[in-house]
Every structure is written in C-alpha cells, then in structure tokens.
Chains A and B, each alone.
Chain A
Amino acid sequence: MARIRTVELGRYLLNGKLGRQGCLCARRASFAGMSAIGQTRHFASPAQQFEPPIHPRKQAKDQAKALKASGKKQKKKNTDNQTVPGWELTVGIEIHAQLNTPRKLFSPAATSFNDTPNSHVALFDVALPGSQPAFQPDALIPAVRAALALGCDIQHVSRFDRKHYFHWDQPAGYQITQFYEPFAKDGHIVLRARDGIAAEDGDSIKIGIKQVQMEQDTAKTMALPGEVQWLDFNRVGVPLIEVITLPQMHHPATAAALVRKVQMLLNSVDACVSGMEAGGLRADVNVSVRRTDDTSGELGTRTEIKNLSSFKAVEDAIIAERDRQIALLEAGGVVAGETRGWSLGGTETRRLRGKEGEVDYRYMPDPDLGPVVIDEQLVSHLATSMGMLPDAEMDQLISEYGLSTKDALSLVQLDDGARIQYFYNVLDELELRLGADKSSDQSHVLLAANWCLHELGKLTEVSSDLEMTPSGECKVGSADLAAILHHIHRRQITAKVAKDLLWSVFRGEIEHRGVSEAIEAQGMWFQELAEEEYAAIADSVVQGEMKVVGEFLRFKTGKTKAYPQGKLMFLVGRMLQAGPEQKMDPASAERVLRVRIEEVYIPALEAMQAAEE
C-alpha cells in the first residue's frame, strides 16, 4: 500500500478535512486497498463544513433547556418565598423619621435641606462649652400628630436621656433621646390586604407599637479619598422621631408593608419631611428565626440590619438574612447577635459590627433638660383636627363611592395626593350638572374615576406633564372634564368624540368652560340613527356574510356550545364601517343586530337550506 502523505493525514486526523478526491490515499493506490479503508473509517462528510449557523432563538431555547436540565436553582419570586417550612421568622422594626418643624429640637436654629453648609448652626448644635439646650415646643406638634396617627397613648410627662458614643458627626459625644420615658407608648397599626401584606397573613394584621420617642439627628458627612470626612452641621439637632414596633411580624412582605404604611401615615399628618427614597425616613430591621416546634417560648438571637434605603430592600434583606440564619442553624452553628448591612442588588447581608464592638451606651437622664409636660388640651385639639386619615378615605372611596380597591389606591397615590383632589373636584362639578339626574347606582362616579385615572393618563407620557396642583387643578380644568363627562353620561356625545374633546381641552384649543359651545359649533352632538336605519345597515352587511350567520344557526341548533360573540362583534364592526360612524352607538348596533339575527337572518338561512335539500 502506498504511503499516505503526512500533510493530508494530519489534516484529516486533526481537522476532519479530506482532499479533493474525498478519500485519504495517494492517487496511485490500488482500488481494493482504498475501498477497505473507506469502509472502515468514519470521516466527517464535507457537507458538515458548510452547515448553516444555528438560529439565535433556537440557541436561547437550547440554553434554557440545558440550564433546567443541569438543575441550577432559579431565584424564587418574593411572593413564593414568604415562609420556610419548619421555621418561624420574627421581625421587629425601628423607623427613624425626620420631623417637619421650622426649628431644631434643642436650639432655635432653622431646619433646612441642602442649604449652604454650616449656615444654620447654633452654639449648642456644635456643643461649644457653656452652651445649653432649650427645648423648642414647635417640635411637639408633628411629633404628637405622628404618635396619634399610630394610635399611641401620649404621656403627660416624658423625659430626655443621653445616649453616649463618640463619632465625628455628633459633636457632643452623646445623642439626646428618650430611652426611659418616651412621650408616646402602646400604639398599634392595622395592615390590610390592600397595603401589600403577605398572603399568609390573611385579610388584616395588627402590629403593636412599643413606643415613639423624640431624638436628635446627626451631622451630614461626605467621605472623601484619603480617609478624610467633610462635615456639614446644618443637620445636627434636627428633630427625629423613632417608632419602635413590637416583634410581631412573621413575613417579609408584611414588614415592608409596615414601613410603607408608616411613611404614608406620617405623610398624611404632615409629620415627616420626605420619604425613604429621599432619605427622610430610615428603617432598621431586627431579624431572628426559631423552629416552629420550639417549646421554649423564647425568640432566637436577633441581628440588626441597617442601611436599608427602599421598601424592596427591606423585603429582600429580610429574606436573605432569614435564609442565612436558617442555613447557619441547620449546619449546627450559632447565630451571633451582630449588626449587618445590605446593598441593593445583593444576595446576602454583610457584617458591619460584631458583638465585640457592641457599644455600651451608658444611658443616663439628661440633667440640663426639664421634663416635657404636654397639655391634655393640646393633645385633644390635635387629635380632633387631624382630618380624615388615609384608611378612612380609602374605605369611603371603596364603600361609598363604589370604586375598586386598585382604582382607589391608584387615585390616592398618583401625583402625591393631588389626583384624588382633582377627582373630587370633577365629581362635585359633575353632580352639580347632573342635578337630580345623577344615577343611583354610582355609574357616574365610576365614569369620573375611569376618566381621571386612565383617560387623563393617556394624555401625557409622564404624569407630571399634567401640572396637577395640590388643590386639584391641572391643564385639563376640572369644570371642563366634568362638562365632557356630563354629556357622555347623558349620551349626548359618543366616547370617541369625548376623547377628541379631552385632547382639545388639554392642548388649550377649547377655552375654559367652553366645552358645550365647542360641541355646538362643530356639530358633534350624537344624533343617533333610528332602529330602521340600523336594521337597513345590518341587512346590507349580512348580505355577503351568510357563512357567519351559519355559525349562529349552529349555536341555535345546539351544535356549538357558546354564543359566537366574536362573530357578532365582527359584524358590528362591519356595520360601523358601513354606516355613518358618528351617528352610531356600538351598543345599540349590537342590540339591533342580535335581534335581527334571531328574527330575520336565521329563519332566512333555514329556509334557504330547506329549499336546497
């Protein structure tokens, strides 16, 4: 047998490529030897070199299949991850909120936000020797309102204590707080299903609030490279309230819902300056786990999670910490009582400070400050003048006005509470116009809500472009929208015309309170066709659609189970196309068509089929 050239052999063995002749032997080799080689060898066909590339969609599908087959864990959704079988989670939350006051807590310097650094600093704020605190009574008003909104008992006498620790953002070396005798105790907050609690908590859950206390804020620091900090003492001494809940939450979603609800309540009584996202409200979460069959009745060691900057972070951090503690305990370890931090998008909490660094705060009553004595009269005045709280408002919207929970929630939350005021204004005007005609079944209310939410939302990409004022007016005047809705409700214009009008009002093409004149001027009143005219159009449309009528016959004779609603609407659409659309109401067209199908077309078809046989 002739020797195979090394180059060709190498190319075949290493790359699977054959020469021009498609076989691996020299030209002068005998055919017998060649065929033997050809039968026993398996070689890559030349066709494989030219295979088309795999379609990307197929590639993605293959990858997903491979991933699933490999058994890699997919990240669980939060709603499915509320409980771990065999373990009970306990969560307690401490919320710090900046109070809405003109002056600081213990000095007459002004509170501010992003003003010139170190421009609102009193002598006591930087703890200059010889300076004394002077309690500013202004701080009591939002503090007492916040405590009342949380259902607490306001203590007649409360006192201030010092919490000692050294940090560069605290000039005095101690923070003045209310450790032993806070000004409000024993409150509660009721969370409902609509507040976003875990499904496992049922319809509603009541969380107790241990106490609400007043305390000072610290300075703002900016960390710079080279271990240098820049300090702005404008924020030192600004009043905060700390809300401490009882450890009665057992699901992460409920804990996040509690923080959201506390922020909403504080906002509604004008007690807090800004929300969690803006840094005006902070939540520190205490998490512990124990087995469900634990008979000792004691809670497990708790860890504290700080640096949470959003509601989602609260839920995610609790889930991560719970899983970490369970894994630790199942492996036979012990949970250390430490402080941990969380970063957005993280998977596990990280240790900030361990037990060795646990600080002894050496609480002592502050001797420079007298007790805070709150007058009963002031408390009752504030309690009666708080206005309707959000829960009561939501209940009224749902039960009295008949809105759905989802719609009511959206209305109340949009535009910082301005959208619901707009809705009330529109509703007032609408009811004024309708007078005695207003529907007893609240359909006009639902119409107004639908338009204030959805139609108004369609006008702009961002809701701030509507320029909604806090008193409830925007680019579309409430009186004008009410006029449009009034005409819709009385069926004087069609929905399509109404939407066009809304656009015109938004763009300022129709003058204020000139909606009715505009309709008159452009002749857009809805002059509905008579029944016979509808019937005539229906007849003309059905002419070429006998097959569709056959569907209705099949339903009548029982061959199909469901009424062919889709086919009906198809025919209605054809009718609207055929006839003068602005004079037609789809509902009336459908009604007439339905009747004519029953009475005229089906018998005609039956007669035709009988004649054919």
Chain B
Amino acid sequence: MLKTRTISNCRRIGISTTISHPRFSSSSTSSAIPRPQPSEAIDPAALLSNPTWSVRSLLPQPSDPATSSTPPPPTITSSQLHHLLRLSALPLPKSPAAESHMLSVLQSQLSFLQAIQSVDTEGVEPLRSIRDETAAGMAEATIGLNQAQVRAALASEEIMGRCQRPRRQRGAAVDASEAEEWDVLGTASQRAGRYFVVRSGKSGDKDGEIVG
C-alpha cells in the first residue's frame, strides 16, 4: 500500500519509478531487471539488504563526463552568490578560499537538481504539499455555511438601514486568551516599556536591511 502510494507520488512529480541496478549506467532510464516470478519465494531480507540505487548517481561524475546524459549546469558567478546570500540575510564568505568552497558546493547541488529539472513535467500540476485531495478530504476543508464559526459570525451581524446592509458589531469582546496569554515581551532582547526595540542603523555585522 505504501509502495504504491510512493510510486504514484513519484509519478506525479515525474521521478522515474524504474529501479536501476548500480552495476548498470547511472542514467535513470534503464531496461527493466528481471522480476522474480510469482512462484518463486521472495526473501525480504535479501531483497532489502542491498541498495539498488544511490543518490550519488545523480551527482556529477568527474571521471566520465561523456556518460552523463544531463548537460553541465551553468556556472555561478561570485556576484550571483553574493546576491543570493544578501537575499537570504546570510553573511558573505570571509575569504576567497571560503568563497570558492561555497561555489563548488553550490555547483554540485545544482547538478543534482539538474537531474530533476531535466524531467519533462509538461501538463503536470506541481505538488505544493502532501494533503488529502480526495473528494472527502476537500469537502472537509471547504469553508461554508455548515461551519460553526462562519454561522456564528453571520448570525451576530445586524442589518442596518433602508438598504438592508449587514454590519459586524464592533466592540464585541473576542475571547482570544488562549492564544494571547503568554509572555510576549519576554522574547525581546531589548525593550522600552511595552515596546520591542530594534536598532535600525547599518552598523556592526548586520547587512543592510532590504525594504520590501
């Protein structure tokens, strides 16, 4: 059951479900291995003890670039790296050696992603998160008049004026104690009365703030 669902999910994001033997080529599309006949006894321990595939097969093979079916990923420049680090509010590399190490790591990560990006996903809806997308699941997630919170909100409105426009009664007490009662200001590194204090000057090791 789990196997079929994993396979169906893999199909959805386009990863090939054919298992490739490590002795064969690292390409993801390979001929099928001989399947055990139903009459033969399957030894689970033997079957599961040897890995048949490793993620390493997706990393660039420096010894044999010709066999790699995916084109080499574009090289990242130093300025691109700095731009990405600034966007993520991460510190810039401290030395050229650190920077070249960071670049090589990023490069190998990109070639790993290339294998995924090379799959044809035409017409396939991207997966955002794994949720219950059955009809029953969607019905449960639907927000409508059958939900108590919505019904209560609509019932507490009053209809105003000749034009019969509904209006929410403001000033009605909202019981949010469960969510609000905790020591908010205790998390502040610096306080001023009931306010959090932030220093906005461009000083120290802080990068300049990017204003959205």
Given contact pairs A108-B176, A121-B180, A373 touches B142 in the complex (Cβ within 8 A): yes
Q: In this assembly, does B149 line the interface, its C-beta being within 8 Å of a C-beta of chain A?
A: yes
Question: How far, in whole Å, are A228 and B192 apart by their CA atoms in the complex?
Answer: 11
B123 within 8 A of A: no
**Residue of B145, B154, B164, B212 touching A167 (CB-CB under 8 A):** B212
Flag if A117 contacts B195 (CB, 8 Å).
Answer: yes
* Pair A103/B174 contact, Cβ less than 8 Å: yes
The complex places the Cα of A156 from the Cα of B113 at a distance, in Å, of: 33
Complex alpha-carbon distance, A370 and B164, angstroms = 35
Residues 173 to 211 of chain A near chain B (Cβ within 8 Å): 173, 175
Are A173 and B166 interface neighbours, CB within 8 A? no
* Residues B148-194 near A (CB distance < 8 A): 149-150, 153-154, 159-168, 170, 172, 174, 176, 178-180, 182, 184-185, 187, 192-194
Given contacts A353-B211, A381-B145, A386-B166, A471 and B161 within 8 Å (CB-CB): yes
Stretch at the interface among A24-32, A84-92, A360-368: A360-368
B129 within 8 A of A: yes
A residues in contact with B119, CB < 8 Å: none
* Inter-chain contacts of A353 with B (CB < 8 A): 211
How far in angstroms is the closest Cβ of chain A from B29?
29
Identify whether the interface residues of A are mostly helix, strand, loop, or mixed.
loop
A377 within 8 A of partner (CB)? yes
- Render A25-49 as a binary contact track against B, CB cut-off 8 A, 1 for contact: 0000000000000000000000000
Q: Is B210 an interface residue, CB under 8 A from the partner?
A: yes
A387: contacting residue among B83, B87, B164, B200, CB under 8 A: B164
**Residues B153 and A138 in contact, CB atoms below 8 Å apart:** yes
- Taking a contact as CB atoms under 8 Å apart, the answer to whether A387 and B159 are in contact is yes
CB distance from A431 to the nearest CB of B (A): 14
In this complex, the interface size class of chain A, counting residues with CB under 8 Å from chain B, is: 35 or more
**Structural contact, A367 and B199, CB atoms closer than 8 A:** no
Q: With A and B bound together, what is the CA distance between A378 and B151 in angstroms?
A: 10
CA distance A372 to B143 in the complex (A): 8
In the complex, the answer to whether B142 meets A386 with C-beta atoms within 8 Å is: no
9-residue interface stretch from A73-81, A158-166, A575-583, A587-595: A158-166
Given contacts A126-B184, A229-B200, A378-B150, contact A359 B210 (CB under 8 A): yes
Query: Do A374 and B200 have beta carbons less than 8 Å apart?
Result: no
When the two chains form their complex, are residues A268 and B195 in contact, meaning their CB atoms are under 8 A apart?
no
A601 contacts chain B at the CB level, 8 A cutoff: no
Residue in contact with A373 in the complex, picked from B128, B143, B161, CB distance below 8 Å: B143
A539 at the interface (CB under 8 A from B): no
* Cβ < 8 Å to B, chain A residues 140-170: 140-142, 159, 163-168, 170
The answer to the question of A132 belonging to the interface, with a C-beta cut-off of 8 Å to chain B, is no
Report how many residues on chain B are interfacial, defined by Cβ distance under 8 Å: 54
Q: Which of A460-516 contact B (CB under 8 A)?
A: 470-472
Q: Which of A50-58, A230-238, A604-612 contacts B (4 or more CB under 8 A)?
A: A230-238
Known: A377-B144, A378-B143, A378-B150. A102 touches B172 (CB 8 A): yes
List A contacts of B163 (CB < 8 A).
387-389, 393
In the complex, whether A573 has a CB less than 8 A from a CB of chain B is no
Which residues of chain B are within 8 angstroms of A389 by Cβ–Cβ distance? 163
Residues of A102-141 whose CB lies within 8 A of B: 102-103, 107-110, 116-123, 126, 128, 136-138, 140-141
CB of B77, distance to nearest CB on chain A (Å): 16
B10: interface (CB < 8 Å): no
Min CB distance B109 to A, Å, is 16
Name the residue among A270, A362, A417 with the largest chain B CB count within 10 angstroms. Answer: A270
In the complex the two chains form, what is the Cα distance from A123 to B192 in whole Å?
21
In the bound complex, what is the Cα–Cα distance between A357 and B179 (angstroms)?
Answer: 38
Q: Which residues on the A side are within 8 Å of B144 (C-beta)?
A: 374-375, 377-378
A377 near B128 with CB under 8 A, answer no
B75 CB, nearest partner CB in chain A, Å: 20
Q: Interface digits, B86-130 against A, CB 8 Å rule (1 contact, 0 not)?
A: 010100000000000000000000000000000000000010110
**How far, in Å, is A496 (CB) from chain B's closest CB?**
32
Docked CA distance A122–B180 (Å): 5
Complex Cα distance, B159 from A470, in Å, reads 12
- Are A230 and B184 interface neighbours, CB within 8 A? no
CB distance from A467 to the nearest CB of B (A): 18
- Distance of A451 Cα from B23 Cα, bound (Å): 96
Of the candidates B150, B161, B172, B187, which one forms a contact with A126 in the assembled complex, judged by CB atoms under 8 Å apart? Answer: B187
Asked if residues B176 and A173 are in contact (CB atoms below 8 Å), the reply is: no
Contact B165 A109 (CB under 8 A): no
Q: How far is the CA of A367 from the CA of B129 in the complex (A)?
A: 5
Is the CB–CB distance between A233 and B166 below 8 Å? no
Contact A378 B145 (CB under 8 A): yes
**Across the interface, do B201 and A365 meet the contact criterion of CB distance under 8 Å?**
no
Which residues of B are found within 8 Å of A142, using beta-carbon distances?
Answer: 168
CA distance A110 to B178 in the complex (A): 11
- State whether A373 and B153 are in contact (beta carbons under 8 Å apart), knowing that A128-B187, A175-B212, A229-B198 are contacts in the complex: no
In the complex, A371→B127 CA distance in Å?
12
Query: How far, in Å, is A149 (CB) from chain B's closest CB?
Result: 11
Chain A residue at minimum C-beta to C-beta distance from B154:
A141
Known A122-B180, A421-B161; contact A141-B150, beta-carbon cutoff 8 A: yes
Which residues of B sit under 8 angstroms from A471, Cβ to Cβ? Answer: 160-161
CA distance A312 to B154 in the complex (A): 36
- CB–CB A167/B211 < 8 A: yes
**CB-CB nearest in chain A for B157:** A270
Nearest chain A CB to B130 CB, angstrom units: 9
Assess A137 versus B150: contact at CB under 8 Å? Given A270-B166, A377-B145. Answer: yes
Are A385 and B201 in touch, CB under 8 angstroms?
no
Does B142 contact A370, Cβ atoms closer than 8 Å? no
In the bound complex, how far is the Cα of B180 from the Cα of A109, in angstroms? 6
**Is A227 an interface position by the 8 A CB rule?**
yes
For A117, A136, A269, A393, the residue with the greatest tally of chain B CB atoms inside 10 Å of its CB is A117
Partner of B89, one of A103, A140, A166, A472: A166
| Chain B residue contacts of A268, Cβ below 8 A | 165
- Would B141 and A371 count as touching, CB distance under 8 A? yes
Asked if B142 and A233 sit within 8 Å, CB to CB, the answer is no
Of the A-B pairs whose beta carbons lie under 8 Å apart in the complex, a sample of 27, sorted by A's number, is A103-B176, A110-B176, A122-B179, A123-B179, A123-B182, A137-B149, A138-B149, A138-B150, A141-B154, A165-B212, A166-B209, A167-B209, A175-B212, A222-B195, A227-B200, A229-B198, A230-B195, A230-B197, A231-B195, A231-B196, A359-B212, A360-B83, A375-B144, A386-B166, A387-B164, A420-B161, A421-B162
Residue numbers of A with Cβ under 8 A of B are: 100, 102-103, 107-110, 116-123, 126, 128, 136-138, 140-142, 159, 163-168, 170, 173, 175, 221-223, 227-233, 268-270, 353, 357, 359-362, 365, 367-368, 370-375, 377-378, 381, 385-389, 393, 417, 420-421, 424, 470-472
Ranked 10 nearest A-B pairs via Cβ: A375-B144, A165-B212, A387-B165, A227-B201, A388-B163, A230-B195, A387-B164, A231-B196, A365-B128, A122-B179
Listed in ascending order, the chain B residues whose CB lies under 8 Å from chain A are 83, 87, 89, 126, 128-129, 131, 138, 141-147, 149-150, 153-154, 159-168, 170, 172, 174, 176, 178-180, 182, 184-185, 187, 192-201, 209-212
